Amino acid sequence: MGFEAIIRSSKKGDDGEVKNASLACCCSGKSSNLSRNAFKKHVVTKTNCKAPVNASVHFDGKWKICSVVFDHNHELSSSGKTRYFKSNRIIQPSVKRKLEVNGRAGIRPNKNFNSLYIEARGVENFSFLQKDCKNYTEKFRRLQLGGGDASALQKYFLKMQNENSNFFHIMDLDEEGSLKNVLWVDARNRAIFKEFGDVVTF
């Protein structure tokens, strides 16, 4: 209908199942400019739009819409632009496989996208954007490890832990046994954390 919906809030019951949910327009809420650079322009997307849909689970187990507000305080997108909404930009599994195969072959992301463009006969036939294609390719490449990389990393961690028992590490594997996440903290940083408690993630 010309706007993207987001889950504003939800509440679970004692059984762990969601019982109440509130969907809102993506322009709900207020924008907060955290930049200290007064000359840096930011696109304002939040207009404090009050157009929610509230629903809850009825006694018979079926969802019931409790209230709907249709009035938006901003212009709605035309039907031709709704495919650019984040929720509508989906890379199909078959396309993901092509991106992965071409990525392994060393084909650059822009060439990879161009081949899909020619095959689809126009960008209007895509359900994703070029940057989505690039982001997926880069994410896939980051997750690829060379032969023995994971075991070499584990050996290094064990060596560090033998040298200092306060060295901490953990490795998270996926269902196929491939390395998914890695976390390590050296003894000095653990001591600093006890003093200050600040965390920086990247």
Calpha distance 126→191 (Å, rounded): 51
Please give the model's pTM, rounded to 2 decimal places: 0.44
Residue 9, strand partner residues:
22
Tokens 């939800």 -> residue? 10
Calpha distance 178→190 (Å, rounded): 28
Q: Are 45 and 28 in contact (CB under 8 A)?
A: no
Calpha distance 151→173 (Å, rounded): 12
Q: What's the angle, vertex CA 183, arms to CA 179 and CA 185, rounded to 5?
A: 150
* CA atoms within 13 A of residue 201's CA, in its CB half-sphere: 2
Amino acid letter, 101: V
pLDDT attached to residue 55: 92
Q: And the tokens for 44?
A: 């304002």
pLDDT in tens, the chain (202 residues): 777 788 888 888 888 888 999 988 878 877 765 555 555 555 557 888 888 889 999 888 899 999 888 888 877 777 666 667 777 777 888 888 888 888 777 788 778 778 877 787 776 667 777 788 788 777 777 666 666 677 788 888 999 999 999 999 998 877 766 778 889 998 888 888 888 877 776 6
Q: Are 157 and 169 in contact (CB under 8 A)?
A: yes
Calpha distance 170→181 (Å, rounded): 8
pLDDT attached to residue 32: 64
Q: How, if at all, do strands 53-57 and 63-68 pair?
A: antiparallel
Quickly count: other Cβ atoms within 10 Å of residue 157's Cβ: 17
Q: Are 28 and 49 in contact (CB under 8 A)?
A: yes
pLDDT attached to residue 144: 65
pLDDT attached to residue 121: 78
Q: Where are any strands of DSSP class E within the chain?
A: 5-12, 18-25, 53-57, 63-68, 168-173, 179-185
Q: How, if at all, do strands 18-25 and 53-57 pair?
A: antiparallel
